[in-house]
Amino acid sequence: MSQTAEIGSSADRVALSKLFAAFLKVSIWGFGGGLVWARRVVVEQSRWMSEQEFAETLTLCQLMPGPNIAGVAVCVGAKLRGAIGTISAVAGFILVPWAVGLSLGTLVLQHAQVAVLQNILSGVSAAAAGLLIATGIRLLRPHCARPAALLFAGLAFAGMAFVKLPLLIVLLGLAPLSIGATAAGAIRP
């Protein structure tokens, strides 16, 4: 790789249609939560962000209210092309899938009581849960060298999964501690 990929320089500017198409894909494939696909498309396929940067962006989005994956679309769009990029990414994420999903869903809702359909739904959810867990584990890999990172990931997991604390409490409680620990680690040589 001789050229340093200077994002924003006109030569390798990402086309708006690419942003639209990428988040259309994230959205359409994103059964049971688009995070799995967002990571796959943004980090693995398009290489618009590193694993680390993706995790950080996701963190920023999770600290904010709203649908987090739409937030990832906003941030990736803003990073690559500014405001117009954001609009393209969010439109790709929402427009077509929304229309398709609304029509399909209305059809399914008329048959929601059918037993086979219920079984299929629970099979899909079980697999989707596995995808989410695996995505989390993959995002954790770059942090494995830092014991403090593993500790705080574990605490956040336990707080939500076992203690069932409200999310805001988990974040407000652990964020200052984690920042303190990281700062202390950074000061010491």
Partner 1 sequence: MTNILSPPTLLAAHLAVLSSISFGGFPTVLPDVHDFVTGNGWLTDREFADVFAVSQVVPGPNLILMMSFIGLKVGGIAGAITSAFATFGPPCAMYYASYRLWDRYRDRPWQRIVRRALAPLTIGLVIAGGYVMARATDVGWPSLAITAVAVVLILRTRANPLWILIAGGALGGLGFR
Residues 57-96 that bind partner 1 (CB under 8 A): 57-71, 74-75, 78-79, 83, 86, 90, 93-94
Q: How far is the CB of 54 from partner 1 (least distance, A)?
A: 10
Specify the stretch interacting with partner 1 by CB under 8 A; choose among 5-13, 14-22, 111-119: 111-119
Q: What are phi and psi of 131, to 5 degrees?
A: -60, -40
Q: Is the separation of the CB atoms in 18 and 86 below 8 Å?
A: no
Size of the site for partner 1 (CB under 8 A): 102
Q: Which of 33, 54, 52 is nearest to 42 (CA)?
A: 54
When computed from its CA atoms, the radius of gyration of the chain, rounded to whole angstroms, is 19
Residue 46 CB, nearest distance to partner 1 (Å)?
Answer: 16
The CB-of-168 to partner 1 minimum distance in angstroms stands at 5
Can you tell me which of 106, 145, 188, 189 binds partner 1, judged by CB under 8 A?
106
Of 22, 35, 38, 42, which one interacts with partner 1 (CB under 8 A)? 35
Cα separation, 67 vs 183, in Å, equals 30
Three-class secondary structure of residue 34 per DSSP: coil
41 in Cβ contact with 72 (< 8 Å): no
Residues 142-181 that bind partner 1 (CB under 8 A): 143, 146, 148-161, 166-168, 170-171, 174-175, 178-179, 181
Least distance (Å) from partner 1 to the CB of residue 10? Answer: 20
The values of phi and psi at residue 112, to 5°, are: -60, -20
Which region among 4-12, 14-22, 50-58 touches partner 1 (by CB under 8 A)?
50-58
**Cβ atoms within 10 A of the Cβ of 34, count?**
24
